[in-house]
Each structure stands twice: as structure tokens, then as C-alpha cells.
Amino acid sequence: MLIRMPTAESYALKVLKEQELLPKLVAHLSVSIPAPIKMGTPSADYPYPFSIYKWLPGDSADTLQIEGKTLELIASQLARFLKELQGIDDVSGPLPGAA
């Protein structure tokens, strides 16, 4: 599992948006995205809501040795993901802004 713990109130406002939106997007994408498992609530020990997600296996991009064909593959996969994301038209996303 992965725990996302916001470090400021402005970041914490995004937790509920993520919890609601990510499960709606998953059916439209050919790559895995974080799946919310649980949302934690503020307490005396930690002042903000937080998210617990299913861990996605893989390597961090900052550790990859990027060369010729690898760079082309990454660029192609990123372009496909962005095109799929932009093509989603039956999911109502959150309004922009702090809340």
C-alpha cells in the first residue's frame, strides 16, 4: 500500500477529489492508476485527511537509464495516456479551485 499524507491544508483539499475521481477514470485508461483503498480522517495526531492506495509495481522514472528506444517507448506511452485521459467525456471531474 501507499499512503499519501498531505503536508498542508491546500493539499489536503484534494484528497476527497482523488478518492472520488480515480475509480471513475480507471475503466477509460490502458495503464494502471492508483486505486483508493481508504480515506483517513484528521485526528489529534495528524490534522488532515489522507489516502491509502493500492501499490503500483514498477520503477521510479528518476532511476531509469533512458536511451534511444527507451525514451521513444516512454514518450509513446505518455502520449497514449494523455490522449486517453483527454478523450474521457462521460466522467464529471471536480471543478478547479482550492476546494
Q: What is the pLDDT along the chain (99 residues), one digit of tens a residue?
A: 999 999 999 889 889 989 999 999 999 999 999 999 999 999 999 999 999 999 998 888 788 777 778 888 888 999 999 999 999 998 887 776 666
- Polymer length of the chain: 99
DSSP secondary structure string for all residues of 85-99: HHH--S--PPPSS--
The span from the CA of 23 to the CA of 9, in Å, is 23
The C-alpha cell at 28 is 477509460
Q: Range of 71's domain?
A: 2-87
Instruction: Say what the pTM is.
Output: 0.77
Any domain includes 95: no
Any domain includes 18: yes
Beta bridge partners of residue 50, listed in sequence order: 40
Any domain includes 50: yes
The answer to whether 60 touches 75, Cβ cutoff 8 Å, is: no
Q: In 1-56, which ranges are continuous DSSP H helix?
A: 9-12, 14-25
Any domain includes 59: yes
